[in-house]
Amino acid sequence: MSATRLNLLLIVGLAGAMALSLIAGKVWLPIDPFVGFGQGDDPRWLIIAELRAPRTLLAMILGAGLGLSGAAMQGFLRNPLADPGLFGVSSGASLGAVLSLYFGFAGFPLVLPAFALSGAVMTMLALALLAGRSGSLILFALAGIILSSVTGSMTALAISLAPTPFAVSEIITWLMGALTDRSWNDVWLALPLTLLGAGLIALTARALDVLTLGEPAARSMGVDLARMQWLVIVGVGLCVGAAVASAGVIGFVGLMVPHMVRRVVGGRPSATLLPSALGGALLLLLADTLVRALPTVSELRLGIAMSMLGGPFFLWLLFSLRRQLP
């Protein structure tokens, strides 16, 4: 199957999943509120217009950002196990959000996302200081791992210092990641950041292809590795930062989707970018619809659902990699 056909297929899938996402949930909505379009008093119409629609769009925006980031990361580090969380941006952003919950600012609108985004920005700045202008991939990955363990331990410290068990559970529940009760405000926050991030990543497409030949070859072919590194960092940072700010930590999307896509479109990094974004959007939208519609008493957190899908996927990846080895 060609890349174009895959993209078309994914877009059709997305349209179907959007329709499903609008009607599915703890409260199943039949078609008739859609017919009475704009009649403001029906609570079911409000549920669709103010809760389901922003949530559906947000799942697609964040899923696309995470899928695209994963594809860029795996191409850039030339490692199939690279994940957007590797730069430490997502743990930095969650530290920011946890601090706003810890100090009790999160009741005011937009404070939590603002804290999360400043956490993401500060992590990117720290990454710049650590990895410098070297353009070295190893140094860069190591700096990311150091940053994510430092910010992770500070998050754990904030949890352990929380004054009451109720505050602890509030923080932990947020950390698990979910799209429950998100609003249009979250959409307007995440959309421009993700678009900007995606634009920056798209600029690296050709350089990513050249990089498959190895760093020296890419350098000799005129690729500015340092510039490319910063495009990838800032692009991934914006997509991941927007995702954490509006939904908490949702892992594995960026890890799984590029793998699935690569089976169809082959290994050329630039060819995986668009289908990974579409596939990420589809995966997260389906997962969010599923957690909402599952007959559990309280909603399963989206972040947990993704990890539960991600674990077995990792296992399968390991076995298939082993089979390829002699």
Residues that bind another protein (CB under 8 A): 25-27, 43-44, 46-47, 50-52, 101, 104-109, 112, 163-167, 169-170, 173-174, 180-183, 185-186, 292, 297-299
Residue 124 Cβ, how far from another protein at the closest point, in Å? Answer: 25
**DSSP assigned state of 103:** T
Nearest approach in angstroms of CB 103 to another protein is: 9
Contacts of 5 (CB under 8 A, 6+ apart): none
Contact 270, 2 (CB under 8 A): no
Comparing CB distances to another protein, the nearer of 35 and 325 is 35
Identify which of residues 40 and 312 has a Cβ nearer to another protein in the complex: 40
What tokens were used for 89?
């941006």
Nearer to another protein, 298 or 324 (CB): 298
CB of 246 to another protein, least distance (A): 9
> What length does the chain have?
326
Residue 26 or 206: the one with the smaller Cβ distance to another protein is 26
Distance in Å, CB of 25 to another protein, minimum: 6
Going from the C-alpha of 276 to that of each of 29, 67, 147, 248, 280, the distances in angstroms are: 31, 5, 26, 21, 6
Q: Is the C-alpha dihedral spanning 63, 64, 69, 72 positive or negative?
A: positive
- 36 or 109, CB closer to another protein? 109
Residue 239 near residue 84, CB atoms below 8 Å: yes
